[in-house]
Amino acid sequence: MHFAFDEHQLEFRAQLRAFADKECTPAQLREAWESELGWSRPRWGALAEMGVVGLTVPTEHGGLGLGLVDVVLLLEEAGRSGLPEPLLETTVLGVPILAGAAGATPALAVPWLERVARGDAVVTVGLSSMPAVPAAGGADLLVLEHDGELHAVPRADATVTPRPALDGSRRPAQVQWEPSPATRLYRGDEAEVVLAQLGDRAAMGAGAVLVGIADRMIAMAALYAGQRHQFGKPIGSFQAVKHHLADALVRVEFARPAVYRAAWSLSEGEPDAGVHASMAKALASDAAVLAARTALQVHGAIGYTWECDAHLWMKRAWALAAAWGDARWHRRRIASVVLSVP
């Protein structure tokens, strides 16, 4: 039993943190929100150069060929820094689907894997049940589910209608396209398995980002509570404020190992990996929603303004808490397994 990350994994996180501290400041986040794309191609290129974007791309296609335990800390860091680029969608959701299809349908998968590794493409994934596909507004390749099949659709072959969202960098869009055998990656039982794995990876991955977001929001609120004075004292010296923040921090602290465990179980193909992913998402969603509420409340009226940075994280928290199954959805899934509730 050894529940910790290795040196390389920690070092990779430190590199991403150092990068984000310089290249993903709140001012740069605001620029991204206001930009046409919603994120920055140069930053995506720099992340690719660091190996972050192509982390899960197999080495033969130019990536690092690493797994979910290697990526989970980076996702958390992406949440903490508010990174607007669709790292979750590309590296954790899209790439493994393409990599799995590289043998059977190389023409549909391999060029895209190589482009992702070069930082030359953004991939996103959409289910037919989604009202709009996250990141579809600026993605180069859309991996789309249709009638239980999975298809790879270059953006040029689809009609993409942006659906502006509260989070200025999510950039969801409605996608119209024609499924054909030429776009098909998976069908039948195989597609069912790939979709189930996708759901679990997404739950874990979104959970990791949410933990990072929650951590950041609590840190911002704690910093503010130490500076803002009322009644002649910092508001952080009042127990009502302290207890809000302590409760929020506890939920994050106890969500985090569950997210890490889900990453490990998924990467090892553990039989309970799906339950583990659901536990992670249920805990992380609740933790992030509580942290958002707490951060807003601690900031008071300033937190309710566009000018205060808190909302840049808060809005991402709400979006991801609802994405890929909210907390209650995942608890229901756990109940269906553990309690055999139909």
Partner 1 sequence: MDLRFSADQDRFRDEARRWLSANVPSEANGTGPLESLDTAAGFAAHRAWERTMFEARWSVVSWPEEYGGRGAGLWEWIVFEEEYYRAGAPTRVGQNGIFLLAPTLFEFGTPEQKARYLPPMASGEEIWCQGWSEPDAGSDLAGIRSRATRQDGGWVLSGQKTWCSRGAFADWLFGLFRSDPGAERHRGLTYFLVPMDAPGVTVRPIAQLDGETGFAEVFFEDVAVPDDQVLGGVDRGWEVAMATAGSERGLSLRSPARYTEAAARLVDLYRTRRASDPGHAAHRADDVARAVIDAEAYRLHTYWTATRVAAGESVGPEASMNKLFWSETDLAIHAAALELLGEAAELLDDRGRPPPWLDGFLFSLAGPIYAGTNEIQRNVVAERVLGLPRG
Dmax of the chain from CA atoms? 70
Q: Which residue of 180, 246, 304, 305 would you call a contact of partner 1, by CB under 8 A?
A: 246
Residue closer to partner 1 (CB basis): 119 or 274? 274
Any idea which residue has 């951060």 for tokens? Answer: 295
For 133, which DSSP code? B
- Figure out which of the listed residues 6, 11, 21, 60 binds partner 1, where binding follows CB under 8 A: 6
| Segment interacting with partner 1 (CB under 8 A) among 104-112, 140-148, 152-160, 253-261 | 253-261
Residues in the interface with partner 1 (CB under 8 A) total: 47
Based on the shown chain and the rule CB under 8 A, indicate whether residue 214 belongs to the binding site for partner 1.
no
Three-state helix/strand/coil letters over 69-122: HHHHHHHHHHHHHCCCCCHHHHHHHHHHHHHHHCCCCHHHHHHHHHHHHHCCCC
User: Is 61 or 331 the residue whose CB approaches partner 1 more closely?
Assistant: 331
Q: Which is nearer to partner 1, 254 or 304 (CB)?
A: 254
Q: Which of 172, 68, 194 is nearest to 126 (CA)?
A: 172
Exposed e or buried b per residue across 76-98, where buried means at least 16 C-beta atoms within 10 angstroms of its C-beta: bbbbbbbbbbbbbbbbbbbbbbb
Report phi then psi at 97, rounded to 5: -65, -45
Among 43, 61, 151, 261, indicate the residue that binds partner 1 (CB under 8 A). 261
Q: Is 39 in the site for partner 1 (CB under 8 A)?
A: no
Q: Which region among 82-90, 99-107, 179-187, 233-241 touches partner 1 (by CB under 8 A)? A: 233-241
Which region, judged by CB under 8 A, interacts with partner 1, from 31-39, 165-173, 242-250, 311-319?
242-250
C-alpha span between 290 and 147 (Å, rounded)? 36
Give the nearer residue to partner 1 in terms of CB position, either 44 or 224: 224
**String of contacts with partner 1 for each residue 268-307, x by CB under 8 A:** -----------x--xx------------------------
Task: Give 219-272 as a 3 state SS string.
Answer: HHHHHHHHHCEECCEEHHHCHHHHHHHHHHHHHHHHHHHHHHHHHHHHHHCCCC
Bin 152: left if φ > 0, else alpha if -120 < ψ < 50, else beta. beta
Q: Minimum CB separation from partner 1 for residue 252, in Å?
A: 10
- Is residue 10 involved in binding partner 1 (CB under 8 A)? no
Give the orientation angle of helix 310-322 with respect to helix 273-299, to 10 degrees.
150
When the beta carbons of 55 and 123 are compared against partner 1, the nearer one is 55
Applying CB under 8 A, which residues contact partner 1?
Answer: 1-6, 69, 218, 222, 225-226, 233-234, 236-239, 241-243, 245-247, 249-250, 253-258, 260-261, 264-265, 279, 282-283, 328, 331-332, 334-335, 338-341
